[in-house]
Amino acid sequence: MSNAGDPKPVVDDAAAARKKQQEEDLQKAKEAGWGEPVPFHHAQGPAADAGDGEAHEAPAWLSDAAVYAWDDEFGEIGEPDPELEKTLFGDPNQPSIGHNIKALSFDVDVSGGTEGERVHPILKFDDAGLHPAMADNVRLCKYTTPTVIQAYCIPAVLTGHDVIGIAQTGSGKTAAFLIPILSKLMGKARQLAGPRPKNRDERVCAEPLVLVVCPTRELACQIFDEARRLCYRTMLRPCVIYGGAPTKNQREQLEKGCDVLIATPGRLMDFMSNIKLLNLSRLKFTVIDEADELLSEGWEDVMDKLFQGSSTNQDGDHTYLMFSATFPKFARKLVKDYMEEDHVRISVGRIGSTHQNITQTIEWVDQHMKNQALYDLIMQGGPQRTLIFVNAKSTCDIIDDFIYNKGFPVTSIHSDRTQREREDALRAFRTGKTPIMVATGVSARGLDVAFIKHVINYDLPSSQHGGIDEYIHRIGRTGRIGNQGNATSFYNERNDDIGEDLVKVLLENKQKVPDFLQDKMPANPEKIEWHDDTDDEDESFDVGGGVNSGFGGDVGGFGADGGFKADEGFGGGFKADDGFGGGFKADDGFGGGFTADDGFKADADADNKLDGW
Ligand SMILES: Nc1ncnc2c1ncn2[C@@H]1O[C@H](COP(=O)(O)OP(=O)(O)OP(=O)(O)O)[C@@H](O)[C@H]1O
């Protein structure tokens, strides 16, 4: 009997052709120097395939990462712990400063503060008057020279001011607030801190002295990581709480005592509702990182609670600090409601600006040609840590699949993934096991991964979803802390809404404006006028009697008008940013099958609906 008309062989043929194509693609990717695609087996349990070559038998939640521990016999500073020291400071995946740190040396605008006082920027960490233990930790972190925001922020915090710090992505804002805060508390920890458990079974209520709030879980873990290093031997115990991960682990950490708490807002609100678990009455410092995001719509209740809540410390000595790379006008207005009248605002460069360490390329790519263009770009770039941004979770899954099937080692992250999957994906990306990661825009905020050489905007952010500020945060994942990076964005008629702002950013950073964007050129390219969302000031921000007085004068060694020119101090002795290592392990096919959705932020986790992603 004939098989004519039976569709089966056609299917088989198609499957065989697909398989052949995949094998060819895999071969091509290999020849281009990429390692093998890496499948994930989340079903095997927590971090079973985390990418660091180590077995993870116990749940490896980032909140359980080791922190310095001591017993009561120690004095003000703990004894060295060589094992922990190696873990904290010897991580080869920790970002290191690049040669071109000078590109972050913009003019600095310092305003506000107390009349007659001025902020004296520091040229060296040794000049900052840091507590010796803190100075040691800064050295162990290999921070040889303060970045510009650190040069101003450290003395401003040490002299007791509320601070708003605005500086480009990857310019060291986290250390700019952690170093002075922790240094100020050093030596006072015993006197100020809450009770500690007297034995292994005792549990205490966490009464932190410092609270750092940030919008995403991954950012919280990252800040916690930096706090773990800077708290080493200080007798200050850091903890992190964030949505998605089991509350049990985080609760147990808090019950061991907590001096520095890093939190996402949803989980913080949850824990704050249990006064036996968390009490903020001892708080001396509240830091809001990515402040413009947290001041945006949807977070008002949390902010009100943090700044006016009955359980937070109302002492006169409570310091508030806010940081971001972008600070639109609406956020600047809101700040007025929260901060002390004499707060100091330090902005490095134009608010919302980027820097020339990132080479920006805008390519016209028709919607239906994006996959091909992406493939070509990845092949051209060769093996390097590459972060691809898309605008929807569904696209994130599809592009992950596409790249995987083209034979590249890729992972992806978005808010429909479980926290376990998110932590695994990020770890695999960080360690270089999967040097390509696809992400929705929300991961733009704050992510600090070493050696990201290329950011690709497969989709450009629309003006309704963050627009040019979102673009700045996204491309800021590369070219961090003096390293060079590339950012390529696919542009077509759908992106016309951010075309003009894009051109201004390109001009400002001396980047090539492509022909298809020439009609978006500002009237006077030499003197770009920004919309109110970027740098123009308004009277509502200029509070207090000290506006522009006392600060910004000729500050020793920094040149007139407060501009931090930084001709010396930076440079020599830093490890150069080096390329991606390669060498990936092979395994079998990709699991796939993720649910899709779209939208940018604020997934409704049962336990933490405010924690973005
Ligand atoms: N003085 C310094 N010298 C060398 N490296 C530093 C210094 N200060 C901070 N770093 C490192 O630079 C990296 C970027 O810092 P950080 O994440 O705080 O930047 P950021 O300004 O907050 O960026 P973003 O706006 O993107 O969140 C971190 O890995 C940090 O450890």
HEC states along 482-519? CCCEEEEEEECHHHHHHHHHHHHHHHHCCCCCCHHHHH
Distance in angstroms (rounded) separating the CA atoms of residues 420 and 196: 30
Give me the interface pTM, i.e. the ipTM.
0.99
At 73 the pLDDT is: 63
Range(s) of the domain holding residue 432? 358-520
The Å distance, Cα 204 to ligand 1 centre, comes to 33
Looking at residue 193, what is its pLDDT?
A: 84
Ligand 1 and 295: CB distance under 6 A: no
- Among 520, 547, 565, identify where a domain stops: 520
Between the CA of 25 and the centroid of ligand 1 the distance, in Å, is 37
- Does residue 255 lie in a domain region? yes
Residues 304 and 375 in one domain: no
| Position 52 in a domain | no
455 is a domain residue? yes
* Mutational pocket test of ligand 1: of 149, 448, 451, 475, the residue with most ligand atoms within 8 Å of the beta carbon: 448
Residue 149 lies in a domain: yes
Looking at the fold, whether 164 and 299 belong to one and the same domain comes out as: yes
Q: Could you report the per-residue pLDDT of 496-513, keeping only the tens digit for each?
A: 999 999 999 999 999 999
Specify if 540 maps to a domain. Answer: no
Distance from the alpha carbon of residue 495 to the mean position of ligand 1, in angstroms: 31
**Of 348, 376, 408, which residue sits at a domain end?**
348
Q: What is the pLDDT of residue 231?
A: 96
Q: Is residue 296 within 8 Å of 533, Cβ to Cβ?
A: no
How many other CB atoms are found less than 10 A from the CB of residue 6? 9
Residues 276 and 136 in one domain: yes
Burial of 510 (0-12, 13-18, 19+ CB in 10 A): exposed
- The token duo for 224 is 């916690």
Rg (the chain; Cα; Å): 25
Cβ 461 under 6 angstroms from ligand 1: no
Query: Which residues of the chain have a pLDDT value below 50?
Result: 1-3, 42-59, 309-311, 534-613
Q: Mutate which of 124, 171, 226, 387 to test ligand 1's pocket (most atoms within 8 Å of Cβ)?
A: 171
Q: Cα of 66 to ligand 1 centre, how many Å? A: 21
**DSSP for 432-457, written as a single string:** TSS-EEEEEGGGGTT---TTEEEEEE
Is 37 among the domain residues? no
Instruction: Output the domain CATH number for residue 155.
Output: 3.40.50.300
Ligand 1 touching residue 97 (CB < 6 A):
yes
Q: Smallest Cα–Cα separation from 456: which of 519, 508, 388?
A: 388
Asked if residue 151 has its Cβ within 6 Å of ligand 1, the reply is: no
Q: Are residues 314 and 390 in the same domain?
A: no
Give the distance (Å) from ligand 1 centre to CA of residue 216. 17
Number of domains in the chain: 2
Residues 338 and 369 in one domain: no
Q: Give me ligand 1 centre to Cα 101, in Å.
A: 11
Closest CA to 288 of 219, 377, 191: 219
Alpha helix positions (H), 231-282: 247-254, 265-272
Q: Which residue type, as a one-letter code, is found at position 400?
A: D
Residue 530 lies in a domain: no
Biggest alpha carbon–alpha carbon distance for the chain? 100
Q: How far apart are CA 383 and CA 407, in angstroms?
A: 12
Determine whether the shortest distance from the Cβ of 173 to ligand 1 is under 6 A.
yes
Q: Which amino acid, 79?
A: E
User: 520, 544, 574: which is the final residue of a domain?
Assistant: 520
Do the domain assignments include residue 10? no
| Statement to judge: residues 147 and 280 lie in one domain | yes
Nearest CA residue ID for atom 29, ligand 1? 95
Question: 365 and 336, same structural domain?
Answer: no
Q: Are residues 301 and 152 part of one domain?
A: yes
Residues in a beta bridge with 390: 440
pLDDT for position 459? 97
Nearest to 52 by CA among 448, 427, 588: 427
482 touches ligand 1 (CB under 6 Å)? no
325 and 426 fall within a common domain: no
**Closest by alpha carbon to 607, among 319, 378, 270?**
270
Question: 119 with 139, same domain?
Answer: yes
Determine if ligand 1 sits within 6 Å of the CB of residue 443. Answer: no
Rounded Cα–Cα distance for residues 613 and 412 (Å): 13
Q: Report which protein residue has its CA nearest ligand 1's atom 16.
A: 172
- Indicate whether residue 218 lines ligand 1 (CB < 6 A): no
Q: What is the pLDDT of residue 51?
A: 43
112 DSSP β-pair partners: 344
Cα-to-centroid distance, 467 and ligand 1 (Å): 24
400 and 343 in one domain? no
Using the mean position of ligand 1's atoms as its centre, give its distance from the Cα of residue 97 in Å: 9
Question: From CA 200, how far away is CA 119, in angstroms rounded?
Answer: 45
Are residues 380 and 279 both part of a single domain? Answer: no
